[in-house]
Amino acid sequence: MPLLSVRDLQVDFTTRNGRITAVNGIGFDVEPGQITAIIGESGSGKSVACYSLLGLLPTPPASIERGSAVFDGRDLLQMSERELREIRGRDIAMIFQDPMTCLNPYMTVGNQLVEPLIYHRKVTRAQARERALELLAEVGLRDPQATIDQYPHQFSGGMRQRVMIAMALINEPRLLIADEPTTALDVTIQAQILELIAELQRKRNIGVIFISHDLSVVADIADEIVVMEKGHVVERGDRQAIFQAAEHPYTQKLLAAIPAGSKPPADAAREDLIQVRNLCTWFSQGRGAEPLRAVDDVSFTVQRGEVLGLVGESGSGKSTIGRSLLRLVPVTSGEVLFDGTDVTGLAGAGLKQMRRRMQMIFQDPYASLNPRMSVYDTLAEPLLLHGIATRKTVEQGVLQLMDDVGLARAFVRKYPHEFSGGQRQRIAIGRALATRPEFVVADEPVSALDVTIQAQILELMLELGREYGLTMLFVSHDLAVVRHIADRILVLYKGRVVEQGTGDALFNAPKEDYTRQLLQAIPGRGLL
């Protein structure tokens, strides 16, 4: 008998623009001792479905229209708030995406940890604390005695997520709902947390619902996979079936979107467009404090026409390198030669001229467009600024750019908030290409996007790169994506270059320990 059996669940939302059905008649089972993954892109209803089971959706605006969710012989959807409360945190526990915001910043982790135990099991505070210390050790926190009385901000992201897991498990629940528990974490940390969840699940033999947008993340741990699209379950099956014989076109699309393979090697040696020599970018951390060495003595070259991948985890300095090349942050020392000219010394008209030749595409398409400017204004600005178009020809220029990046011309009057993430990234790419640059820095251009959109944007960038004859610095935390798009890859760690080479060389014969660690951490590497 399944531990949880959801049938015909429908959840609606009342919004300013009318009613929306977020979850439309879905059903799935969770077996005890198994991990059921629910996969879907943003807006697929995967989180809403799970939150509605525990009564964690604010009503209104949400309302559960119909359906049943039988847990342990009782229908969760028919329970009163009081009965549900008895189950929440005792029989069914949750962990969330962002361990930064999900822990109370005003309470010590110890006090937060013991809460469910004291409330549900009526144990004394001392007993609860004892238990919390055991669990913290079990989830891999070093020296729980010393850290249990600290506040969440004193922990790293990975450690916070371990605390969250301990908190969820403290009452020995039978079902654990994990909502994108690794999405906010670095790759190597993600691998550790995935392993931890799988291990604890096996040991306790509990059922787990693992919600994720990324099929590859669950490739190693899921027993069952439920694929959701726009409020519907489009496919269900065991891991084997989904990965090897997916039937639904959407599942196939998701699988195809997992970046795989590497770019064929370039045909011939090319001249260097950019030479970076002993680049240092340090940030002051206040008087008396050691400066933060975001980029520390880095040298490399970028050849004309190539895509150079820059890979590293948070704090590796990868974004700062890109911004240093474009003079968006002040460089501390070193040289950046662009076509023979040292960019670091430029000012005034010379700098403006150089800016035309090198552009940037940013990570967050929600923040990288001025919300008060229409597509037309955004794209026309660079065209007019650099005299690429005159007032007479600027419309034609704008429309041409929209064609190039695959945006319908009819949208030219619209504003950023009226577009989806992928469409916005297209606008941002159009803006970067407007000046006809020779060199583009792309800073994590796809990591804020849904998987299927991600694949489209990567395709678009490769295509435009060829068309415009671009040289590109592609910054990303995701090795698989970089391997897919880059000719050569630079691996960064703490502001220094650890290793460089072609994608195949790095993947097949990594020389450095850190590179090996990164490769090991790639989720679902069996798929590649």
Partner 1 sequence: MWRFIAGRLLQAIPVILAVITVTFFLVRVAPGGPFDSEKAVIPEVKAALEAQYRLDLPLGQQYFAYLQDLARGELGPSFKYPGRSVNELIAAGLPATAELGAYALLVAVVLGGLAGVVASLKPNSAQDYIPMSVAMIGICMPTFLLGPLLVLLFGIHLEWLPVAGWGDIPGDKILPSLTLGAAYAAYIARLSRAGMLEVMSQDYIRTARAKGLPEWQVVTRHALRGGLIPVVAFLGPAFAGLLAGSFVVETIFQIPGLGRFYVQAAFNRDYTMILGTTVFLSTLIVLFNLLSDILAAWLNPRLRAQYGEA
Partner 2 sequence: MTSANLTDVVQAEQGTSLWKDAWRRLRKNRLALFGLAVLSVFIVVALLTPWIAPYAYDAQNLDLGASPPSAAHWLGTDIFGRDLLTQILYGGRISLAVGFVATAVALVIGVTWGAVAGYVGGRVDAVMMRLVDILYALPFMIFIVLLMVVFGRNLLLLFLAIGAVEWLTMARIMRGQVQSLRQQEFVEAAVSLGLSPATIVRRHLVPNALGPIIVYTTLTIPSVMLLEAFLSFLGLGVQPPATSWGLLISYGAETMEEYPWLLIFPGAALTLTLFALNFLGDGLRDALDVRGSGD
The residues that touch partner 1, with contacts defined as CB under 8 A, are 54, 56, 85-90, 93-94, 96, 98, 101-107, 115-116, 119-120, 151, 153-154, 164, 167
Tell me which of 151, 381, 406, 494 binds partner 2, using CB under 8 A.
381
Asked if 436 is part of the footprint of partner 2 (rule: CB under 8 A), the reply reads: no
Decide which of partner 1, partner 2, none touches 90; Cβ closer than 5 to 8 Å per partner kind: partner 1
In whole angstroms, the minimum distance from the beta carbon of 38 to partner 2 comes to: 32
Asked if 377 is part of the footprint of partner 2 (rule: CB under 8 A), the reply reads: yes
Residue 294 to residue 284: CA distance in whole angstroms:
10
- Do 338 and 438 contact (CB within 8 A), yes or no? no
Tell me which of 13, 119, 151, 376 binds partner 2, using CB under 8 A.
376
Asked if 382 is part of the footprint of partner 2 (rule: CB under 8 A), the reply reads: yes
Tell me which of 209, 331, 428, 522 binds partner 2, using CB under 8 A.
428
Decide which of partner 2, partner 1, none touches 107; Cβ closer than 5 to 8 Å per partner kind: partner 1
In whole angstroms, the minimum distance from the beta carbon of 72 to partner 1 comes to: 15
Name which of 103 and 522 has its Cβ closer to partner 1.
Answer: 103
Name which of 360 and 479 has its Cβ closer to partner 2.
Answer: 360
Tell me which of 435, 447, 456, 517 binds partner 2, using CB under 8 A.
435
Decide which of partner 2, partner 1, none touches 413; Cβ closer than 5 to 8 Å per partner kind: partner 2
Asked if 264 is part of the footprint of partner 2 (rule: CB under 8 A), the reply reads: no
Bridge pairing between strands 307-311 and 207-212: unpaired
User: Taking the CA atoms of the chain, what radius of gyration do you get in angstroms?
Assistant: 25
Joined tokens for residue 528: 């590649």
Name which of 180 and 313 has its Cβ closer to partner 1.
Answer: 180
Name which of 167 and 432 has its Cβ closer to partner 2.
Answer: 432
Strand ranges (E), 223-328: 224-229, 232-238, 272-283, 292-303, 307-311
Binding mask 403-422 for partner 2 (x = CB under 8 A): ------xxxxxxx-xx----
Burial of 268 (0-12, 13-18, 19+ CB in 10 A): exposed
Asked if 291 is part of the footprint of partner 2 (rule: CB under 8 A), the reply reads: no
Q: CB neighbours of 190 closer than 8 A, spacing ≥ 6? A: 182, 217, 521, 523
- Do 217 and 194 contact (CB within 8 A), yes or no? yes
**Residue 313 DSSP SS3:** coil
Name which of 318 and 323 has its Cβ closer to partner 2.
Answer: 323
Q: What angle do CA 171, 177, 183 make, to 5 degrees?
A: 120
Q: CB neighbours of 522 closer than 8 A, spacing ≥ 6? A: 187, 216, 479, 480, 528
Asked if 372 is part of the footprint of partner 2 (rule: CB under 8 A), the reply reads: yes
Burial of 337 (0-12, 13-18, 19+ CB in 10 A): middle
Residue 389 to residue 397: CA distance in whole angstroms:
7
Bridge pairing between strands 62-71 and 4-15: antiparallel
Tell me which of 307, 360, 389, 457 binds partner 2, using CB under 8 A.
360
Joined tokens for residue 74: 């009782």
The distance of Cα 187 from the centroid of its chain, to the nearest Å, equals: 10
In whole angstroms, the minimum distance from the beta carbon of 94 to partner 1 comes to: 4
Asked if 388 is part of the footprint of partner 2 (rule: CB under 8 A), the reply reads: no
Q: Pick the closest to residue 224 from 410, 396, 4 (CA basis).
A: 4
Tell me which of 109, 326, 442, 449 binds partner 2, using CB under 8 A.
326
- Do 177 and 50 contact (CB within 8 A), yes or no? yes
Binding site for partner 2 (CB under 8 A): 323, 326, 328, 351-352, 355-356, 358-360, 362-364, 367-377, 380-382, 384-386, 394-396, 399, 409-415, 417-418, 428, 431-432, 435
